[in-house]
């Protein structure tokens, strides 16, 4: 046999061996998968095994009630028809994951505090109505005390198996939020639900700005299962920062942010409630409280904001330029009612519209199939008015740098939904999608800028302008050039925004709007995206919808 023939035969032998090996490993994988499926089936069957079966009255009719580890079903008991035909009835069902409390029902006289004849059990559960969660009760009547207590104890035991449900919460209430209604909201809508679900609470009514942060820095956290904030965006921002900072201090990790173990619950009591709207899909204290008692947890992205190597704070969103300036102006008019104050500040800042001259650098997030940000809006991926555009490196990171005039720069790690912006300020980012949204609005005329702003309140189109640039990013650096800053002596005159950035004296600070709070920073600011840094009680169906769309597009 010639040398090439031998070589060919050798290669054929190798390839047959390889094929056999692949076939064997394929069979092995199939077997493993089958075993896994069987195990899963056994688990499902076990969880669907009937734990209890009994007769209860629901309304006026007797029902056959079945309890498994995951659900309770009831079917009316109907007498046989003379023809022997059984009528088909759909059983009613409630999932135990939606039940937050179970109580024994008793007949009591007016003023009687304890005892009383047993009537049956009541299951307190939540019912979904769109994005809202509502309270619902299922009454199972049976006068036998023994029967009722067996069901009560078993249901209690099964509900105790939901490990993410809190038993003891640290609650902060800001009594000064918005219309000073936070205490009432907590007392009327939240406390009764916590009591019903046997959730104990340790309440601090905050007395000043920074009070919640100082309590969180010092209190013993081990005994709590979660922290709850009742207030507006300012209070939420303070507590989110406090929870992450405390985790960082406990872990003695000054450089790297640390994921807090304790989840945060947010009960909306402010005027816009951006974080609450984003994590719950609606602004509703009952929905928020039900998410807490049911232990619905979701991981949420955050950002760290630092300047000159010092951490400024942790938060969800930041606005530089227009957003910062209008908030600074509103803060000076604190004596005005909040809606008037905001309106005044917006109009005034628009009248004085000026661009910021700064260097904007960012680390773009690599475009993957799963990232729809650029896929859905490819036309947004372009450069705006710049004097200089280049790519630099810092360590292994590749920064894109633009130098130019900007009317507004926003960085958001969550969509920032609110009643005023139903699709969110950053509609293309999600609660935990692997990047933050950078929205940079270049210099343009006032009328064009107003057009861009107005489109936030409608459904879309706010980014379809040549002067608006959006990116999915993991970090942003904003370096104001030549200290173009903000001062109280700003000219009251109207000016042409196209040409005249405001030049300030050295040492002036720039107003930043970080989660609705005014933060003044004199130097460059670095914003780093922190993936799924915090657990927040909630579940937003919109997020699920987005994920489904994302998945379909990525296939």
Ligand X SMILES: Nc1ncnc2c1ncn2[C@@H]1O[C@H](COP(=O)(O)OP(=O)(O)OP(=O)(O)O)[C@@H](O)[C@H]1O
CA distance 438 to 422: 19
**Which of these segments, 59-67, 218-226, 270-278, 527-535, binds ligand X (CB under 6 A)?**
270-278
Nearest to 104 by CA among 112, 96, 95, 115: 115
Instruction: Of 370, 368, 304, 326, give the one whose Cα is nearest residue 531.
Output: 304
Among 166, 226, 234, 434, binds ligand X (CB under 6 A): 234
Which residue from 408, 497, 383 is spatially nearest to 447, judged by alpha carbons?
497
Rule CB under 6 A: which of 208-227 touch ligand X? 208-209, 211
Taking CB under 6 A as the binding criterion, the range among 4-12, 56-64, 271-279, 499-507 that sits at the site for ligand X is 271-279
Closer residue to ligand X (CB): 121 or 279: 279
Name the minimum Å distance from CB 515 to ligand X: 9
Interface mask toward ligand X for 484-523; x: CB under 6 A: --------------------------------xx------
CA dihedral for 551, 553, 554, 555, sign (positive or negative): positive
Pairwise CA distance, residues 325 & 308, whole Å? 22
Closer by beta carbon to ligand X, 17 or else 332: 332
Among 195, 199, 123, 189, which Cα is nearest to 166's? 199
Binding to ligand X by residue 317, rule CB under 6 A?
no
Please give the structure tokens belonging to residue 174.
């800001």
Query: Contact region for ligand X (CB under 6 A) — 65-73, 120-128, 200-208, 247-255?
Result: 200-208
Cα gap 304→257, rounded to integer Å: 8
- Rank residues 45 and 218 by Cβ distance to ligand X and give the closer one: 218
Q: And the tokens for 247?
A: 């985790």
Q: Which is nearer to ligand X, 185 or 439 (CB)?
A: 185
Each residue 151-190 as x (binds ligand X by CB under 6 A) or -, in order, gives -----------------------xxxxx------------
Q: Is 233 in the site for ligand X (CB under 6 A)?
A: yes
Nearest to 500 by CA among 362, 355, 302: 355
**390 within 8 A of 403, measured Cβ to Cβ:** no
Residue 477 interacts with ligand X (CB under 6 A)? no
Q: By C-alpha distance, which of 218, 266, 261, 259 is closest to 238?
A: 266
Decide if residue 238 touches ligand X (CB under 6 A).
yes
Q: In this chain, which of 226, 260, 265, 270 binds ligand X, going by CB under 6 A?
A: 270
Report the residue number, 67 or 279, with the smaller CB distance to ligand X: 279
| Residue position matching structure tokens 């922290």 | 227
Which is closer to ligand X, CB of 339 or CB of 548?
Answer: 339
Q: Write the interaction track for ligand X spanning residues 331-350; mark x where CB under 6 A is met and - where it is not.
A: -------x------------
Q: Is 328 exposed, middle or buried (0-12, 13-18, 19+ CB in 10 A)?
A: buried
323 counts as binding ligand X under rule CB under 6 A: no
Contact residues for ligand X (CB under 6 A)?
174-178, 206-209, 211, 231-235, 238, 270-273, 338, 516-517
């Amino acid at each position: 046999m010639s040398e090439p023939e031998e070589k060919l035969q050798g290669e054929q032998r190798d390839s047959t061996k390889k094929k056999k090996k692949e076939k064997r490993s394929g069979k092995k994988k199939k077997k493993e998968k089958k075993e896994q499926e069987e195990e899963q089936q056994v688990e499902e069957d076990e969880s669907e095994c009937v734990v209890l079966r009994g007769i209860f009255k629901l309304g006026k009719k007797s029902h056959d009630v079945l309890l498994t580890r995951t659900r309770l079903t009831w079917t009316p008991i109907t007498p046989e028809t003379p023809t022997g035909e059984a009528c088909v009835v759909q059983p009613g069902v409630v999932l135990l994951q939606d039940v937050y409390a179970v109580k024994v029902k008793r007949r009591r006289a007016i003023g009687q505090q304890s005892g009383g004849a047993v009537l049956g059990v009541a299951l307190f559960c939540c019912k979904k109505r769109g994005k809202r969660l509502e309270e619902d009760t299922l009454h199972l009547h049976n006068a036998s005390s023994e029967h009722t207590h067996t069901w009560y104890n078993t249901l209690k035991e099964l509900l105790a198996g939901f490990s993410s449900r809190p038993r003891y919460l640290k609650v902060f209430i800001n009594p000064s939020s918005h219309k000073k209604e936070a205490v009432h909201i907590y007392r009327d809508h939240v406390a009764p639900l916590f009591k019903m679900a046997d959730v104990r609470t340790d309440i601090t009514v905050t007395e000043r700005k920074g009070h919640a942060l100082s309590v969180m820095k010092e209190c013993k956290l081990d005994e709590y299962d979660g922290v709850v904030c009742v207030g507006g965006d300012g209070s939420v921002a303070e507590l989110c920062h406090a929870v992450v900072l405390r985790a960082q201090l406990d872990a003695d990790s000054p450089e790297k942010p640390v994921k807090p173990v304790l989840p945060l619950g947010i009960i909306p009591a402010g005027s816009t409630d951006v974080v609450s709207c984003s994590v719950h899909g609606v602004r509703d204290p009952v929905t928020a409280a039900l998410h807490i008692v049911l232990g619905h947890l979701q991981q949420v992205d955050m950002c760290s904001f630092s300047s000159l190597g010092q951490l400024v704070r942790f938060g969800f969103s930041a606005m530089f330029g227009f957003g910062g300036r209008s908030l600074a102006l509103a803060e000076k008019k604190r004596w005005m009612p909040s809606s008037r104050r905001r309106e005044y500040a917006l109009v005034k800042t628009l009248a004085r519209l000026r661009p910021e001259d700064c260097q904007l650098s960012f680390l773009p997030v690599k475009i993957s199939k799963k990232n729809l940000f650029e896929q859905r809006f490819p036309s947004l991926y372009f450069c705006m008015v710049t004097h200089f555009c280049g790519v630099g490196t810092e360590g292994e990171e590749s920064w894109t740098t633009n130098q130019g005039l900007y009317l507004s720069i926003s960085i958001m790690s969550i969509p920032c939904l609110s009643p005023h912006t139903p699709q969110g300020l950053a509609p293309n980012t999600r609660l935990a999608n692997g990047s933050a949204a950078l929205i940079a609005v270049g210099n343009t005329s006032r009328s064009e800028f107003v057009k861009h702003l107005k489109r936030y309140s409608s459904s879309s189109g706010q980014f379809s302008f040549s002067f608006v640039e959006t990116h999915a990013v993991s970090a942003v650096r904003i370096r104001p050039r030549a200290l173009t800053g903000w001062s109280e002596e700003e000219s009251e005159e109207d000016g042409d925004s196209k040409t005249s950035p405001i030049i300030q004296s050295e040492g002036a600070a720039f107003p930043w709007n970080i989660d609705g709070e005014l933060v003044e920073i004199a130097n460059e600011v670095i914003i780093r995206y922190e993936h799924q840094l915090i657990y927040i009680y909630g579940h937003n169906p919109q997020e699920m919808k987005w994920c489904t769309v994302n998945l379909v597009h990525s296939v």
